[in-house]
Structure 1
Amino acid sequence: MSSQSDSPSIFSRIVAREIPATIVAETDTVIAFDDIAPKAPVHVLVVPKTERYRDVVELAAADPALLAEVVAMAARIADQRAGGEFRLVFNTGEAAGQTVFHVHAHVLAGDLREGTLADA
């Protein structure tokens, strides 16, 4: 499926280097960058470079190998930044907090035991 509109998502614009971001990892198909409004000591977004999938459900159904690459990159980032302990969040749908309809994972790490991450 395609994204909500014909214009590129903010993530596609980051991939194209039209919008600056602090990129922490990248492959031919996936990019990871620091969240601009972090909800945890470590908060990195891992994003497939394609806009083809709105959410993780679409991605899992259509391209499980790409989903596995997203998860593997998240694990590598957590190994580097948080000793391998992390939370991986995919918001699916507006009511669940998804604001960019280009599938992406939030890698959250650090001491997450206090407070809530309702708006990650």
Structure 2
Amino acid sequence: MRALLPMAVALMLVGCASSTMEAARGGAPTAQLASQKAPQIVSQCIQFSWQEEATFGVDASGYLQPRKQGGYTVYTREAQAFVDVYPEANGTRVDYYAQSNDSTALRRRAAAATCL
């Protein structure tokens, strides 16, 4: 019974993040990046870089999930920032979305760029 409550809370958070991400995907990405690396390698690197407490402090979070359409999504708590990582003929395309244009969002974008 104790395990059900944390699982329910986690599912609610994923649902909220998912609707926020779908709304953002309706517009243009904040930035588009490209890499010759495989999508799985790029997405794992972004996830780990966003979890770096030395850079992001208490806001360090990075969650990875596969996309139904192929590729991966890496996102932060409440989807403040997220990337969609897609396979392309010459490597990988990364669409970066951020809810704001503050210093944390810019650091997340820079951290994602180091993974290319």
Query: Shared fold by TM > 0.5?
Result: no
Higher Rg of the two aligned structures: 2
Structure with the higher helix share, 1 or 2: 2
Q: TM-score, normalised by structure 2?
A: 0.31
Structure with the higher strand share, 1 or 2: 2
Q: TM-score, normalised by structure 1?
A: 0.30
